Amino acid sequence: MIQHDDERQPLLSLSLKSKKDPPGPHEISNSTRIGILSGVWLASFLFSFNQTLVPTMLALISSEFRKSHQASWLGTAYLLATCTFTPLFGSLCNVLGRKGAYKTALFLAAAGCTMCGFSTSMEMLILARFLAGMGGGGILTTSSIVVSDMYSSRSRGLAQGVAMAFNGLGQGLGGPFGGIVTDWLGWRWAFLLQIPLFALAYVLTDYNLYYVTEGKGKSTKEVLKRIDYGGSVALMSFVGSILFFLSERFNQNLPWGSPTVVGSIAAAIVSIITFLVIELYIAPEPIMAPYILKQRIPRLVGASNFLVANCNLTVMYFFPLWFQTVMLSNASTAGAHLLPNSLAVSAGSLFAGWIMYTTGKYKRLNSMTGILPFIGVVGILMINENSGIVQSWFSVIPVGFGNAIAMQTSLIALLAHLPESHVALGTGFGTLFRGVGQVGGVAISSAIFQSRLTRELHTRITGPNAEELITRIKQQSNLVVSLPPDVQRAVRDAHSTSIKAVFVYAACLTLVSYAVRLAIPEKELDSRPSIAEPPEVSLPADDESEREGSVASLDTDVVVVRDEGGQKHEISAKVANILFDLDKAKKADSEFGSAKF
């Protein structure tokens, strides 16, 4: 019998390599990479842009629909949806693939933005903002995952720094753009003018984003089965219950024994327990992967993300409010005080990325700059009505610069301690805590402000109709300008004291977050993670004992094998055994045919 050389080649090596396979994320051309980055960074810009777009338009929107008491939900609905769906898209990147998950997020964001422009009621507008927030949360996660896919651990920090710079630019331009377009064309056009940019982002990524990664579902049925519906609903219920509790207890001043307050607390407790049970025991592909949650580094990064995001949103919402209610600045001028912060966020992100790229380390950078947000918040606390331009405009810069570095170093530290196959879930895990922190920043700081403001107003305003006036002041912050001089002075002082209480809370957040990050250990960004990956085996084995020691006896569903080129591949242990049996049978047949009788 003639024996061919290729019959001696292991079946495994023949089955794993194919020239027709789509390229991996590190194998794409530079032009393709630029096209992908242009699309995802444009989408990231639009996400951040929409976070700060609405506040400058609230007065006109609420006046048109005559529902000022519901206006705050325009921001809350967006943040709630972002928080809830951010981690879900981390799983969807594995289930649908990067391209499918990203296009889904982009479609939801664009659809929500379009719906905002054509809304005919406040309720419809709130629903549209929620839909846009769903897509925004997906854009935040998928864009970060896509960028992480294409770069090594060391280069990843610089790439993510550029992405964060676009986020900062979007946050800085959203408010001014909303105000200008509202005055010029009307508030609806502030949403509708974004649609061509969403379309451009879609085309760029649809054409260029074709690389493949492990984990994409094989069929629609499989895709639908792997989505964590229960976990997403339970998480949304928990966050929504907390928001409702804070609003009713502190904004509406309902007593602790009120059925509404007690009911919202009970709903939050039930929801978080349900969420944990689903994630730990039920969900086939949980949005908060238990094996990541059990690791010390992801827990520290999650805590830091929550605290930093909480601080960021607290400052972002109440820093301009101080100028509006205490200094009596108009909305445009008050909002403009956030521009230095946005520029600082962009600069801090780029600086952190460059340092991590050139040094391959992150801990020293974090240790040296982690105290900057505290210094910035203390500077804000010291602002008064006689403060000069430098203190009034630039005290916020250390907050944005330092917190941007904190976010960057935390993300890179998290990904450095995870294997490449867990990048998507790890990114979703980190952004989950960031999203919850953003919602908490608005809700908790608002509760502190409203609670303190109520006490201050009751202390400073007395006499007939005092209660009615206090209620109106709490519901309409722009009422301060039209008050009589003596009452106006009392109200301005009350707002100043109350907002300063919020900044004390923000200062505490910066210190605690700094302490948390100090516990994150250094790790060379060129090295790979400490979390155990699937075991590596050698196939095929020459005898049964070696086979049993390498595959059959392993308590695992996945093993790592190498092809002829030395590349690693994760495959099912059952498939590995089948390949071994086929190869061994082929080898035996070949040996039998060449035997001499």
pLDDT digits (tens, 9 = 90+) for 525-538: 765 444 444 444 44
Select the more confidently predicted residue: 438 or 475. 438
pLDDT of amino acid 397: 94
Residues 460 and 542 in one domain: no
> Residue 37 corresponds to which tokens in the numbers above?
């980055």
> Which positions ≥6 away from 330 have C-beta within 8 Å?
324
Most confident segment among 58-72, 160-174, 296-310, 447-461: 296-310
Mean per-residue pLDDT, 80-109: 85
Count CB atoms within 10 A of the CB of residue 394.
Answer: 15
DSSP conformational letter for 508: H
Is residue 79 within 8 A of residue 91, CB to CB? The reply is: no
What is the extent of the structural domain holding 502?
288-533
Any domain includes 306? yes
Number of domains in the chain: 3
Residues 212 and 74 in one domain: yes
Mean pLDDT of the chain: 80
pLDDT of amino acid 549: 39
Residues 175 and 308 in one domain: no
Select the more confidently predicted residue: 301 or 214. 301
Q: Which residue has the tokens 């997906």?
A: 138
Model pLDDT for residues 34-71, shown as the tens digit of each residue: 999 999 999 999 998 888 788 767 767 876 776 655 66
Is residue 213 within 8 A of residue 146, CB to CB? The reply is: no
Q: What are phi and psi of 558, to 5 degrees?
A: -130, 140
Residues 345 and 206 in one domain: no
Select the more confidently predicted residue: 510 or 177. 510
Mean per-residue pLDDT, 445-453: 87
Tell me how far apart the alpha carbons of residues 421 and 577 are, in angstroms, rounded to a whole number.
Answer: 22
Mean per-residue pLDDT, 464-482: 77
Inform me whether the pLDDT recorded for 486 exceeds 60.
yes
| CA neighbor of 562 nearest in space, from 582, 578, 540 | 540
536: which strand partners? 560
Any domain includes 491? yes
Inform me whether the pLDDT recorded for 236 exceeds 90.
no
Inform me whether the pLDDT recorded for 468 exceeds 70.
yes
Inform me whether the pLDDT recorded for 440 exceeds 90.
no
Q: What is the CATH number of the domain that holds 329?
A: 1.20.1250.20
Residues 341 and 410 in one domain: yes
Inform me whether the pLDDT recorded for 560 exceeds 60.
no
Any domain includes 158? yes
SS3 562: strand
Last residue within a domain, chosen from 533, 556, 575: 533
Inform me whether the pLDDT recorded for 550 exceeds 50.
no
Last residue within a domain, chosen from 205, 220, 235: 220
Inform me whether the pLDDT recorded for 91 exceeds 80.
no
Residues 539 and 514 in one domain: no
Mean per-residue pLDDT, 82-97: 79
| % of the chain with per-residue pLDDT over 70 | 79
Q: Which residue has the tokens 């929409």?
A: 50
pLDDT of amino acid 504: 96
CA distances for 498 relative to 251, 263, 331, 452, 504, angstroms: 13, 28, 19, 5, 10
> Residue 548 corresponds to which tokens in the numbers above?
């049993």
CA distances for 408 relative to 184, 307, 355, 404, angstroms: 37, 14, 11, 6
pLDDT of amino acid 574: 55
Any domain includes 5? no
Mean per-residue pLDDT, 70-92: 79
Residues 563 and 503 in one domain: no
Inform me whether the pLDDT recorded for 297 exceeds 80.
yes
Pairing of strands 558-562, 568-572: antiparallel
pLDDT of amino acid 84: 82
Per mean pLDDT, which range of 47-56, 295-304, 492-501 is the poorest?
47-56
Helices and strands counted in the chain (H then E): 25, 2
Rg, Å, the chain Cα set? 28
| CA neighbor of 79 nearest in space, from 251, 313, 428, 271 | 313
Tell me how far apart the alpha carbons of residues 219 and 96 are, in angstroms, rounded to a whole number.
Answer: 10
Inform me whether the pLDDT recorded for 555 exceeds 60.
no
Inform me whether the pLDDT recorded for 243 exceeds 80.
yes
Model pLDDT for residues 1-15, shown as the tens digit of each residue: 444 444 434 444 434
Select the more confidently predicted residue: 17 or 387. 387
Residues 43 and 132 in one domain: yes
What pLDDT band is residue 429 in, cutting at 50, 70 and 90? confident
Residues 148 and 37 in one domain: yes
Any domain includes 330? yes
Inform me whether the pLDDT recorded for 562 exceeds 70.
no
Residues 404 and 486 in one domain: yes
Residues 561 and 498 in one domain: no
Any domain includes 394? yes
pLDDT of amino acid 586: 56
Last residue within a domain, chosen from 174, 204, 220: 220
Mean per-residue pLDDT, 426-450: 84
Any domain includes 428? yes
Inform me whether the pLDDT recorded for 415 exceeds 70.
yes
pLDDT of amino acid 174: 82
Mean per-residue pLDDT, 425-452: 84
Q: What are phi and psi of 528, to 5 degrees?
A: -110, 170
pLDDT of amino acid 306: 94
Residues 348 and 458 in one domain: yes
Inform me whether the pLDDT recorded for 281 exceeds 50.
yes
Any domain includes 413? yes
